[in-house]
Amino acid sequence: MEDALEGLLQTVGFEEAFRSLAELLPDAAVFAVDAERNIIFWSSGAERVLGFSREEALGRLCLSSIRCRTCMIGCGIAKYGAVSGFPLELYRADERWVPTKKFAKGFFDDAGDFLGGIEVLIPTGPAQLEEGVVAETVLLPPDAEEFHRIVSRDAAMRRAFQTIRNVAETDATVLVRGESGSGKELVARAVHLESHRAAGPFVAVNCAALTPGLLESELFGHVRGAFTGAVKDRKGLFRQADGGTLFLDEVAELPLETQSKLLRVLEERVVTPVGASEEVAVDVRVVAATHRALKREVAAGRFREDLMYRLRVVPILLPPLRDRRGDVEVLLRFFLRQFNQAGPRHVETIAPDAMRALLNHTWPGNIRELRNAVEFAFAVGRGEELRLEELPPEFAEDGEPPESLHADVGSQSEREKIREALQLEGGKVNAAANRLGMSRATFWRKRKQHGL
């Protein structure tokens, strides 16, 4: 039987057989990458799932087209050989995200060097992916704004949006500072998407996730024989991001030796691969991020002062969520809509005690913690109402009423709550619905039910 299969493949052609197999999975993204993780095959299913055409994807670094939310570098198979059912959240071309499960297989030569691989991404949120389905519009208060998936009504954040728009017109280096979970990578993506480099690659690396030895090779590349195991040339992330943007997350974690080499790249716009003697020109916009105060790191001798000034040409400070109390409810609506679209649960209302706990929480994990709390509630709860007991355990301790108009809402009848919300919001239905934790449709239905 194996001989018969081999004969069929030789007759049909291996490439044609692979293409045919990929097209038998119209609802999955099937693609292949070469040894440098550049895309060499892109199925029609990949076009539908992720929104990038074959022409846009082929020849590009997979991270620049797939744009993982949950990983920072690498495709996994180059390191582990195979991946089975790994959950990934991916950005589509239209900036929506889609949850998937990843199945992949890497191929290696006799020396153990990565040759390339095949990957299959199966959507786990089909409602977001069906052709012709348009994402529901998030109902935001009049004073709130959505900017490249960053949602805020906070004045400091609105100023940051304008700074991003302005700096995107230049190639100035940007330094984003904010606590973990405050949305630093979203800001970096916004700078990229607002700039003339938007059609180029966006490559991200977490500087704290790599060892010092590996980091230099990842950033600048290496030549064959540069060190034990370097059996062939490798492009670094600077060259892979050529024509686009390189995001250096947790840049304060860079070793001092690497800092000096990064400074030269930023000043001269050339990289020298490890083990090489010739420089290679690169055209890259750098956006760096850190949760540390670089001036303190400089004073402690852990960071070069000249590099600090070179990175913070344009600094952008992201306030923590505890200082943006008005954004909690806005972001909550935003995440509820995302999970409602993904299904299978659909939340229409938020119980008053749950809303109080969410509004009263200090959010040490910032926006990431808020999103995780909503995801937790969707996973463990059922029904159209999000209840306090469906939130993570620590929220039961945060249920004391904050000093806000939500404080006594639990003691009122539903009719009184709706009437009061309309009065407080000047008759604006969207704002009144948001105040009560209801969707617009549910608010209209209940308003009619109570004769209001």
Angle between helices 352-360 and 325-342 (to 10 degrees): 130
Q: What is the reported pLDDT for 229?
A: 64
Q: Does domain 322-449 have CATH number 1.10.8.60?
A: yes
Q: 165 is written with which tokens?
A: 């728009």
**pLDDT at residue 11 above 60?**
yes
Overall pTM surpassing 0.75 (yes/no): no
Report pLDDT digits (tens) over 97-131: 777 888 888 888 888 888 888 999 888 764 343 33
Q: Is 280 helix (H, G, I), strand (E, B) or coil?
A: strand
Higher-pLDDT residue of 263 and 222 is: 263
Q: Which of 16, 57, 13 is nearest to 37 (CA)?
A: 57
Q: What is the reported pLDDT for 178?
A: 93
**pLDDT at residue 227 above 70?**
no
- Would you list the DSSP string of 86-130? EEEEEE-TTS-EEEEEEEEEEEE-TT--EEEEEEEEEES-GGGTS
**pLDDT at residue 298 above 90?**
yes
CATH 3.30.450.20, the chain: domain bounds: 2-128
**Average pLDDT over all residues of the chain:** 80
Interatomic CA distance for residues 164 and 75, integer angstroms: 29
Amino acid, single-letter form, for residue 442 = T
Interatomic CA distance for residues 27 and 44, integer angstroms: 9
Q: Is 23 helix (H, G, I), strand (E, B) or coil?
A: helix
To which residue do tokens 């750098």 refer?
286
Interatomic CA distance for residues 145 and 161, integer angstroms: 9
Confidence of residue 22 (pLDDT cuts 50, 70, 90): confident
**Which superfamily does 145-317 belong to?**
P-loop containing nucleotide triphosphate hydrolases (3.40.50.300)
CATH 3.40.50.300, the chain: domain bounds: 145-317
Q: Which of 61, 360, 42, 278 is nearest to 270 (CA)?
A: 278
Report pLDDT digits (tens) over 42-62: 988 888 888 888 887 888 777
Question: Looking at the domain covering 2-128, what would its CATH class be?
Answer: alpha beta
Q: What is the reported pLDDT for 411?
A: 36
Q: Is 334 helix (H, G, I), strand (E, B) or coil?
A: helix
Percentage of residues in the chain having pLDDT higher than 90: 29
CATH 1.10.8.60, the chain: domain bounds: 322-449
Helix, strand, coil percentages, rounded to 5, for the chain: 45, 20, 35
Q: Residue 36 to residues 39, 64, 117, 145: CA-CA distances in angstroms?
A: 9, 13, 10, 39
Higher-pLDDT residue of 159 and 71 is: 159
